[in-house]
């Protein structure tokens, strides 16, 4: 059965991703000062590195979440590695002073799980789909719910057949 979440394609190159992650850092720079980043693996690792470099943040923690996909549903989420209590307890605790970064928010289920661990953190993603927008504080580009975002680390070079049927040459 076709997955309606993949009706449209939004391919992202490394250049685009770098530019959009820098734009995220730029927007975040006027929204607060953070003592640490928590990145949601694995997709959050790349934007977290770029944002950390731009904002001069050197304390970087991970929360490792795996989603078990059954057929075309996201399935259940499992926290494989929780957040270091030293990071949760920064400033007034509960994630205050912490920036949580992921590559995208889709249904918002992943961010909901992390919000339960860090209710006072600031949540940022590079891309967002409408259903997930209420879960994120700052993002750069919104795409429709029926769009699949293709990240550069998942892609490879492939021959593209020309539009014309006349391929002789």
Ligand X SMILES: O=c1[nH]c(=O)c2nc[nH]c2[nH]1
Residue ranges for the known binding site are 42-43, 102-110, 148-149
Residue 61 binds ligand PRP (CB under 6 A): no
Q: Is 110 in the site for ligand PRP (CB under 6 A)?
A: yes
Label each residue of 8-72 as H, E or C: EEEECCHHHHHHHHHHHHHHHHCCCCCCEEEEEECCCHHHHHHHHHHHCCCCEEEEEEEECCECC
Pattern 113-142, binding to ligand PRP, x per CB under 6 A? -------------------x----------
Q: Rounded to the nearest 5°, which phi and psi values hold at 135? A: -90, -10
Q: Which residue is catalytic, options 84, 89, 102, 146?
A: 102
**Distance of closest approach, residue 22 Cβ to ligand X, in angstroms:** 20
Please give the annotated binding residues for 5-phospho-alpha-D-ribose 1-diphosphate, written as ranges: 42-43, 102-110
Q: Per-residue string for binding with ligand PRP, 21-60, x by CB under 6 A?
A: -------------------xxxx-----------------
H/E run at residue 126: strand 122-128
Nearest CB to ligand PRP, comparing residues 95 and 132:
132
CB 160 within 8 A of CB 25: no
The option from ligand X, ligand PRP, Mg ion, none interacting with 151 (CB < 5 to 8 A, set by class) reads ligand X
For residue 73, give the DSSP letter.
B
The count of other CB atoms within 10 Å of the CB of residue 11 is 12
């Amino acid at each position: 059965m076709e997955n309606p979440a993949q009706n449209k394609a939004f391919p992202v190159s490394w250049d685009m991703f770098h530019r959009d992650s820098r734009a995220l850092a730029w927007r975040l720079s006027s929204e607060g000062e953070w003592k640490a980043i928590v990145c949601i693996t694995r997709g959050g690792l790349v934007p977290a590195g770029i944002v950390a470099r731009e904002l001069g943040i050197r304390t970087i923690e991970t929360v490792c979440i795996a989603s078990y996909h059954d057929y075309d549903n996201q399935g259940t989420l499992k926290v494989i590695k929780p957040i270091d209590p030293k990071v949760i307890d920064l400033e007034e605790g509960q994630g205050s002073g912490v920036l949580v970064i992921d590559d995208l928010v889709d249904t918002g289920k992943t961010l909901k799980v992390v919000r339960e661990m860090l209710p006072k953190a600031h949540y940022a993603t590079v891309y967002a789909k409408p259903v997930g927008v209420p879960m994120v504080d700052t993002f750069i580009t919104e795409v429709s719910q029926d769009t699949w975002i293709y990240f550069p680390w998942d892609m490879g070079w492939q021959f593209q057949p020309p539009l014309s049927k006349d391929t002789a040459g």
